Every structure is written in structure tokens, then in C-alpha cells.
Amino acid sequence: AQSVTQPDIHITVSEGASLELRCNYSYGATPYLFWYVQSPGQGLQLLLKYFSGDTLVQGIKGFEAEFKRSQSSFNLRKPSVHWSDAAEYFCAVGPNNAGNMLTFGGGTRLMVKP
């Protein structure tokens, strides 16, 4: 069965510092991979996705993620964090066939220090 692990439950970074959020997945084939962001009291918004091709994908709000098949990872990065990036981030993996469900990681809560 597919699974997603986000090892860091909480991360605190200073504003302007770089950010990397970790995501590891278990999946039997080439996965579809997603990162979502959830602001307090809101639903989840798609940041970026990977299906094939270039393993470095760009998303909204200055985020990027790199797919590393050998490490079964899809880490999210941002060169310089802004206070408005404080939120919860979810990694998700989906089937690459006709199935429709995504499996989500437990989330990482990002706090940004001024």
C-alpha cells in the first residue's frame, strides 16, 4: 500500500532563511506527487505537482520541489521564507493509473520567526 511520511511535525525558520520540508513516499510504481499548503482555518491549496520529466518542479509562491527516485523523496524548498509562508504543508502521492485517490502525509507545521 502506498504511504507518505513527513518526518518533521514542526519546523521553525527565521524570515529570509531558506526552507526544506521533507517528504518520503512508498509506492510500487512511478507516483504522482503533490505538495499542498493549508493556512489556518482554510482548505488545502495546491503548491506544485510532479508527474514526469524534469525532476525539479516549480510551483506557486516561489516554492520548488525535487523528485529523487533513488531516495523515494519529494522535498519542498524555498530559498527565502516570508512571514506569510507560516502554514501547514502536506505532501501527497497518487496512483498513476485510473485510480483517483491521493494519500497524504501527516503534515509539517511551519512557523516563521521575525
When the beta carbons of 81 and 105 are compared against another protein, the nearer one is: 105
**Residue 28: which of 72, 68, 75, 76 has the closest Cα?**
72
Strands 10-14 and 108-113 come out as parallel
Residues near another protein (CB under 8 A) = 9, 32, 34, 36, 41-46, 49, 51, 90, 92, 94, 98, 100-102, 104-107
Residue 3 C-beta: closest distance to another protein, Å = 11
Residue 47 C-beta: closest distance to another protein, Å = 10
**Residue 105: which of 46, 35, 56 has the closest Cα?**
35
When the beta carbons of 98 and 114 are compared against another protein, the nearer one is: 98
d(CA 86, CA 33): 22
When the beta carbons of 17 and 101 are compared against another protein, the nearer one is: 101
Residue 69 C-beta: closest distance to another protein, Å = 18
Residue 37 CA: distances (Å) to CA of 11, 56, 102: 14, 18, 15
